[in-house]
């Protein structure tokens, strides 16, 4: 086996294989995943104990300098505290030696990341939906997973077995040749491995640093604009004027009859009940397993179709133009949510992003979310004030162009590839700037999100006060209720005193 030498051109890639463990190996896998969950719950309880203690002390009027110190949640601090507690804590003292240290490190690392996300979200340093405080993981609901970063992690030379720390050699359900060939050739190095239980089967995912040579695309000088939709999955128009349509396979709708029947069968069996302690019957477990297999098949079909589509696009065109869709907002439409989720708009963009950069080094352009690709005429550049979704044919009021709205949008997206050099973004004219009309003088026709109320520091909501006559007097900040009392601004993982470090 050749020695691995890091050099430019390496990317981090994952290889996933299904496993066929025997009874003892499956018990060991469940034990390791349970140990990760137990370590996570211990870390959450250990950190939040100081939060509750500080809240209680503040209610008794204890001075700020005399309050209980914050407990740090950085991974080194959690590891140090856990190593001291595992030998005396009754929850770990009897069995912690049965599992690899990587199992406990997995839970502690997950807890550290959860507290980091919560603190950044609370202090306004994290984008996206507001995150809540970490909570304990239920034994019944938690997903079984464990990550290994040190020790013996390899794929065996026979191509049908993998070796993991403390778990030994486990047979794989499928050949591991795709990773084994690269490891033997010295063009890959395994960094870590994660075992996970999904839909009744164990999987092992190997994270490897792989040397990947860039491949030249078929048409490097051609740009393509991709307009995603529900009626047709994608309409692709390139800079030469060629338009291709990719039909929507609708995998979920195709299996909906079988899924409904399987779900009805599960509901008619005797399932588990936490209130009474009732255990599920054998027939319920069998029916629930059949339902999971149907859902697994739909997910696999969708993944296969999206990978084939994105691979073909990334290997053919030198420039790819996609839209910046607000998929989370689109899913709020109860009439189209199921079709949008089944199409996988976000997954298409994610795959195109890394495949164009890492495999072919081509350009990917993301159109602005407010770019009116459907309302703009691809012939003359005129922009319609309104174009309802049910209108599927674009009719230009200026030049009289009649075209399918999806084809028109794809042509406009393809023209954006030349906009950086010509200064326009209109498919019909790339040299003469066009005056784009702005109804009501506004740049944005619609909102991407709902307007939020003004908030102050620490999530305080600004509420106007009114006088007896109903007029606004002034604005005051009303504290938003917190799970931990008045603890609104939490320190970061590094904002600790010398003793805590």
Q: Are residues 400 and 464 in the same domain?
A: no
Q: By percentage, how much of the chain surpasses pLDDT 70?
A: 82
Q: Are residues 135 and 253 in the same domain?
A: no
Domain, as residue range, for 459: 453-480
Measure CA 50 to chain center: 31
Measure CA 54 to chain center: 35
Is the pLDDT score of 216 beyond 50?
yes
The predicted structure's pLDDT at residue 491: 54
pLDDT range class, residue 428, cuts 50, 70, 90: very low
Which residues, 6 or more positions from 339, have their beta carbon under 8 angstroms from its beta carbon?
230, 250, 253
Q: Are residues 355 and 239 in the same domain?
A: yes
Task: Give the CA radius of gyration of the chain.
Answer: 28
Number of domains in the chain: 3
Indicate whether 488 belongs to any domain: no
Q: Are residues 108 and 202 in the same domain?
A: yes
pLDDT range class, residue 99, cuts 50, 70, 90: very high
Q: Which of 383, 379, 391 is nearest to 444 (CA)?
A: 383
The predicted structure's pLDDT at residue 134: 94
Q: Is 323 a catalytic residue?
A: yes
Which one is catalytic: 102, 316, 342, 406? 406
Indicate whether 276 belongs to any domain: yes
Q: How far is CA 34 from CA 27, 52, 77, 104, 113, in A?
A: 10, 27, 22, 9, 19
Per residue in 319-360, pLDDT tens? 999 999 999 899 999 899 999 999 999 999 999 999 998 888
Tell which of 213, 244, 264 closes a domain: 213
Per residue in 263-305, pLDDT tens? 999 999 999 998 898 999 999 999 999 999 999 999 999 999 9
Q: Are residues 202 and 230 in the same domain?
A: no
Q: Is 102 a catalytic residue?
A: no
Indicate whether 486 belongs to any domain: no
Q: Are residues 224 and 209 in the same domain?
A: no
The predicted structure's pLDDT at residue 10: 84
Q: Are residues 414 and 460 in the same domain?
A: no
Highest mean pLDDT among 245-254, 431-440, 450-459 belongs to 245-254
Q: Are residues 387 and 337 in the same domain?
A: yes
Is the pLDDT score of 256 beyond 80?
yes
Tell which of 172, 191, 213 closes a domain: 213
Which one is catalytic: 227, 316, 342, 407? 227
Q: Are residues 270 and 139 in the same domain?
A: no
Tell which of 187, 213, 239 closes a domain: 213
pLDDT range class, residue 64, cuts 50, 70, 90: confident
Which one is catalytic: 102, 238, 316, 323? 323
Indicate whether 489 belongs to any domain: no
Q: Is 353 a catalytic residue?
A: no
- Torsion sign over Cα 187, 170, 204, 134: negative
């Amino acid at each position: 086996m050749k020695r691995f030498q890091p050099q430019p051109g390496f990317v981090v890639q994952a290889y996933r294989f299904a496993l066929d463990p025997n009874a003892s190996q499956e018990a060991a896998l469940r034990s390791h995943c349970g140990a990760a969950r137990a370590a996570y719950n211990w870390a959450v309880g250990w950190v939040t104990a100081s939060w509750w203690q500080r809240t209680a002390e503040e209610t008794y009027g204890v001075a700020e300098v005399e309050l209980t110190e914050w407990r740090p949640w950085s991974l080194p601090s959690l590891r140090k505290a856990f190593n001291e507690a595992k030998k005396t804590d009754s929850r770990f003292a009897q069995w912690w030696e049965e599992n690899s240290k990587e199992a406990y490190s997995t839970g502690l690392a997950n807890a550290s990341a959860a507290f980091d996300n919560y603190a950044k979200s609370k202090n306004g340093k994290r984008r996206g939906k507001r995150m809540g405080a970490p909570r304990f993981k239920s034994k019944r609901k938690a997903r079984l997973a464990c990550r290994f970063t040190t020790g013996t992690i390899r794929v065996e030379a026979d191509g049908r077995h993998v070796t993991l720390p403390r778990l030994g050699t486990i047979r794989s359900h499928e050949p591991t040749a795709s990773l084994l060939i690269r490891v033997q050739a010295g063009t890959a190095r395994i960094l870590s491995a994660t075992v996970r239980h999904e839909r009744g089967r164990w999987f092992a995912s190997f994270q490897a640093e792989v040397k990947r040579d860039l491949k030249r695309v078929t048409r490097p000088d051609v740009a393509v604009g991709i307009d995603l939709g529900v009626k047709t999955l994608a309409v692709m128009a390139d800079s030469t004027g060629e338009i291709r349509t990719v039909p929507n396979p609708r995998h979920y709708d195709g299996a909906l009859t079988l899924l409904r029947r399987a779900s009805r069968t599960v509901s008619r069996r005797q399932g588990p009940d936490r209130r009474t302690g009732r255990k599920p019957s054998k027939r319920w477990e069998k029916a629930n397993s059949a339902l999971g297999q149907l859902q697994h098949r739909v997910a696999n079909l969708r993944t296969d179709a999206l990978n084939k589509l994105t691979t073909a696009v990334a290997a053919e065109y030198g420039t790819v133009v996609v839209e910046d869709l607000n998929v989370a907002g689109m899913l709020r439409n109860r009439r189209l949510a199921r079709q949008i989720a089944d199409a996988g708009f976000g997954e298409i963009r994610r795959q195109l992003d890394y495949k164009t950069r890492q495999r072919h080094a081509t350009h990917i352009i993301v159109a602005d979310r407010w770019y009116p690709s459907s309302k703009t005429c691809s012939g003359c550049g005129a922009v319609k004030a309104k174009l309802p979704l049910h209108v599927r044919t674009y009719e230009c009021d200026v030049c009289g162009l009649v075209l399918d709205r999806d084809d028109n949008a794809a042509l406009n997206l393809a023209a954006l590839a030349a906009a950086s050099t010509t200064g326009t973004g209109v498919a019909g004219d790339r040299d003469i700037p066009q005056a784009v009309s702005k109804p009501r003088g506004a740049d944005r026709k619609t909102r991407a999100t709902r307007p939020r109320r003004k908030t102050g520091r620490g999530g305080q909501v600004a509420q106007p006060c009114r006088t007896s006559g109903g007029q606004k007097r002034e604005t005051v900040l009303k504290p938003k209720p917190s799970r931990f009392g008045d603890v609104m601004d939490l320190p970061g993982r590094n904002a600790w005193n010398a003793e805590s470090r």
